[in-house]
A and B are shown apart, each in its own frame.
Chain A
Amino acid sequence: MRYHQAWVVALGALLAAAPAAAEPGVTDTEILIGGSNSFSGPLAFTGEQITKGGVELYLRVVNDAGGIHGRKVRTLWYDDAYRPQDAVANTKKLVEQDKVFAIIIPQGSPPVVATLDYLEEQKVPLLFPYQSSPVTRGKRWIFQGMTVSDRSSKMMIDYLAGRRKFKKFAALYQDDEYGKSFLTAFEKDLGRHGLKLGAAESVKRGVTDVSAQVAKLQATKPDVTFLVLVPGPAAQALKERQKIGWSDTLMVSTGPLTDERYLALAGEAAEGVEGLSLWPDPATSDRPGVKLYREHMQKYAPRNEPNRYSMAGYFAGMLFAEAAKRAGTNLTRESLIAALEGIKGWESGILPPLTIGPDHETQKQGFWVRVEKGRFKPVTDWLKGE
């Protein structure tokens, strides 16, 4: 009988203790987050920069200042080499074996999409995936990282057709989700201005010779030619245009394309190209957050150089830390989501004041730039994406 009672007491104690210890990845002294990313394979540089060069950079600042409510943030990264099956394996391992609190900044549409349903089902927050397709919309546990294509399109068309009064548009786009989602959005937004997309030519991913497409687009004489590509073929398109002396069109690059690698590849052929920039220039901007980013890099990773990828990761770390701080001492996955949804007019010093709300998008604005002497020069202030 006494033996029996002891069991009941033990069981009761166990049950009472259970809820307190429940949240995976969170202890009194530590928060564990992580992600699967490209550390080898085609996008290894980006992967390295957004995770170790970015998220970790900011978290070292936070940890050195005492952590978040006394908890230091630890990160765990696994390599998926851009293969979806490895991304699935890594994500399952992070959730089930390592018991991370949240997944942060995984890269690229295929690896991210492969894990979406699983994470939503397991109720694990997926924070700021580094890809621009809108497939992440409408999910409770997912907060989109990059500016989604239809928002970018709205900013671009309103600026070009509204403010600059251009009439004839054409596009050279990558033949996949990224390219097509922009194309659909362009058509819709041009329609609002009573215009339409005159011509569109597609480029398969991995192809570098785009001369045929460029020639066809030239024949349609557009005022504006959109480049919805990745740096390699986009630089090729600019060089081709220079070669055939096609100068009476304005080349405009989309947000995901407007980065330093694209400029480096295109060289002087990029002069005069315009585009939507989603980030202030990491090396020269004097916005307070960007200056701080450079200072932190100087202090913790002096051998690295400022770049957009590392800044995107730095921003992701910053946003996570802000939400975890707001979620309070009783940090749970639920309270993190609520904190993120509650962010209003938050000043990061890097991007304009951010309000997240129920759409779960963390980046909604960009500004117009023109390439002058090999750098992006801002032409406008932040444009509206809503």
Chain B
Amino acid sequence: MRRAALALGLVALLAWPWASPRYFVFLASLSVVNAIVAIGLNLLSGYTNQLSFGHAGFLAVGAYTAALVTTRWPDTPIVVTLAVAALVTGLVGLGLGVPCLRLEGLYLAMATLAFGFVVVEAIMNLDWLTRGNDGLRVPAARLGPWALQSDTARYYLVVAVGVVMVWAALNLARTRTGRALLAIRESEIAAQASGVHLARYKTLAFAISAVYTGVAGGLFAFVVGFLSPDAFDVFLSVDYVAMIIVGGLGSVPGSIAGAALLTVLNDSLAGFQSYRPLIFGTLLILSLLFMPGGVARAFRFLKGEQG
């Protein structure tokens, strides 16, 4: 039953570009990119209770790294580019994770918020490298002899990477690290009492979360094709937090659902122009009020299980 559903889902993912209008292929790519960020953020917030309002900053680091690598060495295979983006962003995550250890709740949120602003400022000021406010055009990604130039080609790239990232996240819970993170989520004191090194695992969670977001950033660069500091404003970070709250904290399928839901919602509200933030905010508050455990909990509830 579970396998059949999984196979069906994969087939649907693969058939999507052929079955849907062209624009939805692009939108689906964007949803998958956001889903990877949401999973990364959820590993941090859902598992270790560290809420981050700075993930747009990580996304920017990953996106600019991938874009600069591809601009400088156009023949770099996409897998290598994404790995470099993941590594650089992961190191930045580690760097932010250490000072954030002493912070909790509101103070942590403020520190991460500041991090997001710092990244945007850095992009503006390093204009010899990033072209600052003028923005950076991203050349097409390359996979061996092919340049991924169409929306469909980019979609398959994003989906392939997305599947790997989801698989890794689902399996993380079975590893020693995953168990430790889950233990921290349930109770920090209990976890520490059972021998989980709190500081080490909380920092590690930051790094893993950053790696996810860095990979997503690399994909983001290729899907959108143009980067500028305006792309990574604080509202984007808030959107990611909204995704995991709507989707369900601590749930991988919930992250995916939340990301897809909010990406599509954000897109369909574009036509409401100046009313967009108002409608978006109202929907968010309503879903918090009536669906506190997010989509993941609501789904389980419908299936007759206890939330």
Residues on A lying within 8 angstroms of B by beta carbon are 36, 39-41, 44, 48, 76-86, 88-90, 92-93, 96-97, 109-111, 113-114, 117-118, 133, 175-177, 204-206
Contacts and interface: CB of A to CB of B under 8 A. Distances in A.
Contacts of B26: 89, 92
Given A84-B231, A89-B27, A78 B273 contact: yes
Contact of A114 (B23, B27, B224, B267): B224
Interface in B218-233: 220, 224-228, 230-231, 233
Given A96-B23, A109-B134, A177-B133, A85 B270 contact: no
B127 interface: yes
What's the dominant secondary structure at chain B's contact region?
A: helix
B146 interface: no
A175 B26 CA distance: 33
B273 A114 contact: no
B300 interface: no
B301 interface: no
Contacts of A80: 270
Contacts of B200: none
A234 B272 CA distance: 33
A110 B271 contact: no
12 contacts: A78-B270, A83-B233, A85-B224, A93-B23, A96-B21, A96-B23, A109-B134, A114-B224, A177-B133, A177-B134, A205-B133, A206-B124
Contacts of A40: 273-274, 276-277
Interface string B110-152: 0000000000000011010000111101000000000000000
Interface in B190-237: 220, 224-228, 230-231, 233, 235-236
Contacts of B235: 81
Contacts of B266: 86
Interface string B28-47: 00100000000000000000
Contacts of B23: 92-93, 96-97
Contacts of A81: 235
A78 B271 contact: yes
Contacts of A175: 127, 132-133
A79 B224 contact: no
Top 8 A-B pairs ranked by shortest CB distance?
A114-B226, A39-B273, A110-B228, A78-B270, A177-B134, A96-B23, A176-B133, A39-B274
Given A96-B22, A97-B21, A114-B225, A79 B270 contact: yes
Contacts of B230: 82-84, 110-111
Contact of A88 (B133, B226, B273): B226
